[in-house]
């Protein structure tokens, strides 16, 4: 059983990430951390290289798909990209259209409307592309469970290449090629790519073949990596292996030469270098997703494809306004959903209502899941009376597998470990809710992990040093699968407190006769423990203070432990 260090003021069980580690100086902390994570300073982990990306042809169906695309490029066939309305879908659509047009190809694209069309490729969308003169289609972040659309494409003689990462059904659709690392017979890149990542590897395979044929495109695929990084982080993919390399270079691209759309978003979100995973997660991705949630994902696609800085600035401002509206509607809907659930006779986190906004039900489900430590399903009603439901999970559960367990009650569905959704007739809601509750109970063997907070070690104030922070930064990019290094500062007290704008609190923490500057954003449940004179242990991570500069270090407080 994992040794617990106590219950934090935010209600998390504080546990060791690995073996217990106590350090009173920076070198001991660093060496102990390397040993605990099974790493050495010379490991490739700390020096991501594009040359270490796997051969794209290692993905099932890749050779067939790439050769078909090369043929279409050489014969000047018209192509159509079928995207999706979330950050992954619009990013992938943007990079595919931009790169393929650089070869001289005529490429059109479409993004479905969240409420009117839902996820996936519609038969009518395939028909429209075919009748417009397109002979080849490529999906991004969708298609694996779009059986009707793929069958229709085959019937028309329209070659449809699926690029996706969502969990497949027992059978694959009748597409020309299905590029999906989650296929049982694939497993490329550890099955960890997002949809945009799959599309990027398709382009790599196409570029390789074009070069072999002597028609080397002048377009450098590396300039697409800003959007690959954004999509990977936004879809909460594991930042290990291949994804670590993609995001590492994507962040560098964003600092050096982002595309106009990403540059405009960074300006709107006040993101200044060095760009971090947190900047993507909290400033960029929400604005991109807001378009599809509140209006239409086409706006985000246009932004990420914009070549003109002025146009990009206007589109970024529109998305910023969409995001403000999204935040307001999300707050209102969450309150209504919680009131609805409180009135129910059971504790199943599943609900739908015609009044709830299509663009925020997934976010509300996510908030409920995190609050209660188990999956939640929240739905809205389409104009025809059909229920569309979004699922969100927490560690210990696999949403894609839960959806499969509920499949007999769903007309269609799709998802992966953390999120998913589907559609069903209103009269099937009772059966779905019962199956959902049962599936959550059966798959939640590891659900206790949902309310834990892992620390890498316990530090003294003397160990909080710029040299340690420099070394810890080598773990970046951190995120899912590669967590930031989290530490406990214990045995001290708050000696000074300063209120900052935006609800942040700057602190002076004293322990062992030394001082550490700290800062807490949105203190909330730990507010009462961050008062002068309070003896408290702080949970968080040291980082450089960008405001003060000159190598100054501060401790970012994430939680606290009562003395």
CA-atom Rg of the chain in angstroms = 24
Please identify, among 301, 317, 333, the residue that sits at the C-terminal boundary of a domain.
317
pTM for the model: 0.90
Residues 482 and 353 both lie in one domain = no
Last residue of a domain, one of 402, 422, 445: 445
Phi, psi dihedral angles at 555 (to 5 degrees): -105, 120
Q: Are residues 375 and 437 in the same domain?
A: yes
In the DSSP assignment, the letter for residue 386 is: -
CA dist 467 and 44 (Å) reads 21
Strand partners, 538: 489, 560
CATH of the domain at 62: 3.90.1640.30
Same domain membership, residue 309 and residue 185: yes
pLDDT tens digits in sequence order for the chain, 563 residues long: 457 889 999 888 999 999 999 999 999 999 999 999 999 999 999 999 999 999 999 999 999 999 999 999 999 999 999 999 999 999 999 999 999 999 999 999 999 998 888 889 999 999 999 999 999 999 999 999 999 999 999 999 999 999 999 989 889 999 999 999 999 999 999 999 999 999 999 999 999 999 999 988 899 999 999 999 999 999 999 999 999 999 999 999 999 999 999 999 999 999 987 899 999 999 999 999 999 999 999 999 999 999 999 999 999 999 999 999 999 999 999 999 999 999 998 999 999 999 999 999 999 999 999 888 899 999 999 888 899 999 999 888 899 999 999 999 999 888 878 889 999 999 999 999 999 999 998 876 555 555 789 999 999 999 999 999 999 999 999 999 999 999 999 989 999 999 988 788 999 999 988 999 999 998 888 999 999 999 999 999 999 987 776 779 999 999 999 87
Give the domain extent around 544: 4-47+451-562
| Domain membership flag for residue 330 | no
Q: 546: which residues sit within 8 A by CB, 6+ positions away?
A: none
Query: Does 457 lie in the same domain as 525?
Result: yes
User: How much is the pLDDT for 377?
Assistant: 98
Q: Are strands 376-381 and 350-352 parallel, antiparallel or unpaired?
A: parallel
Say yes or no: 276 and 297 in one domain: yes
Average pLDDT, the chain: 94
Nearest to 188, CA basis, from 171, 170, 211, 204: 204
């Amino acid at each position: 059983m994992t040794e617990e260090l106590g219950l934090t003021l935010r209600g998390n069980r504080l546990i060791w990430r690995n073996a217990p580690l106590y350090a009173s100086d920076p070198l001991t902390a660093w060496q102990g951390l390397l040993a605990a994570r099974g790493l050495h300073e010379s490991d490739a982990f700390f020096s991501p290289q594009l040359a270490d990306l796997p051969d794209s042809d290692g993905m099932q169906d890749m050779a067939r798909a790439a050769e078909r695309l090369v043929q279409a490029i050489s014969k000047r066939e018209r192509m159509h990209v079928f995207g999706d309305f979330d950050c992954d879908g619009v990013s992938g659509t943007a990079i595919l259209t931009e790169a393929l047009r650089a070869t001289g190809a005529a490429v059109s694209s479409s993004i479905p409307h969240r409420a009117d069309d839902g996820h996936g490729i519609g038969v009518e969308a395939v028909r429209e592309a075919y009748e417009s003169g397109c002979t080849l289609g490529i999906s991004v972040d969708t298609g694996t469970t779009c059986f009707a659309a793929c069958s229709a494409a085959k019937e028309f003689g329209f070659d449809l290449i699926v690029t996706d990462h969502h969990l497949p059904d027992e059978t694959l659709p009748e597409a020309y090629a299905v590029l999906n690392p989650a296929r049982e017979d694939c497993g490329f890149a550890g099955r960890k790519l997002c949809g945009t990542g799959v599309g990027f590897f398709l382009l790599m395979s196409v570029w390789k073949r074009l070069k072999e044929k002597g028609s080397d495109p002048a377009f450098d695929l590396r300039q697409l990596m800003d959007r690959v990084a954004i999509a990977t982080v936004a879809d909460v993919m594991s930042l290990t292996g291949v994804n670590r390399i993609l995001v590492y270079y994507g962040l560098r691209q964003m600092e050096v030469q982002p595309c106009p759309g990403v540059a405009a978003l960074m300006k709107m979100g006040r993101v200044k270098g060095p760009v971090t995973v947190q900047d993507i997660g909290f400033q960029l991705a929400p604005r991109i997703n807001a378009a599809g949630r509140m209006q239409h994902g086409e706006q985000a696609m246009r932004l990420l494809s914009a070549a003109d800085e002025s146009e990009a600035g206007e589109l970024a401002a529109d998305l910023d306004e969409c995001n403000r509206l999204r935040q307001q509607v999300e707050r209102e809907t969450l309150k209504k959903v919680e009131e609805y659930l409180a009135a129910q006779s059971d504790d199943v986190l599943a609900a739908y209502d015609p009044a709830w906004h299509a663009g925020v039900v997934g976010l509300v489900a996510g908030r409920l899941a995190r609050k209660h430590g188990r999956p939640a399903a929240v739905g809205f009603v389409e104009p025809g009376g059909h229920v569309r439901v979004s699922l969100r999970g927490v560690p210990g559960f696999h949403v894609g597998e839960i959806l499969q367990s509920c499949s007999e009650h769903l007309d269609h569905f799709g998802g992966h470990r953390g999120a998913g959704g589907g559609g069903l007739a209103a009269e099937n809601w009772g059966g779905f809710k019962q199956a959902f509750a049962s599936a959550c109970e059966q798959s939640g063997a590891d659900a206790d992990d949902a309310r834990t907070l892992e620390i890498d070690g316990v530090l003294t104030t003397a160990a909080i040093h710029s040299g340690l922070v420099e070394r810890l930064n080598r773990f970046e990019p951190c995120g899912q699968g590669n967590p930031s290094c989290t530490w406990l500062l214990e045995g001290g007290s708050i000696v000074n407190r300063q209120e900052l704008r935006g609800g942040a609190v700057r602190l002076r923490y004293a322990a062992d006769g030394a001082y550490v500057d700290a800062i807490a954003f949105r203190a909330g449940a730990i507010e009462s423990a961050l008062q002068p004179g309070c003896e408290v242990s702080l949970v968080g991570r040291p980082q450089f203070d960008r405001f003060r500069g000159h190598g100054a270090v501060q401790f970012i407080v994430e939680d606290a432990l009562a003395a």
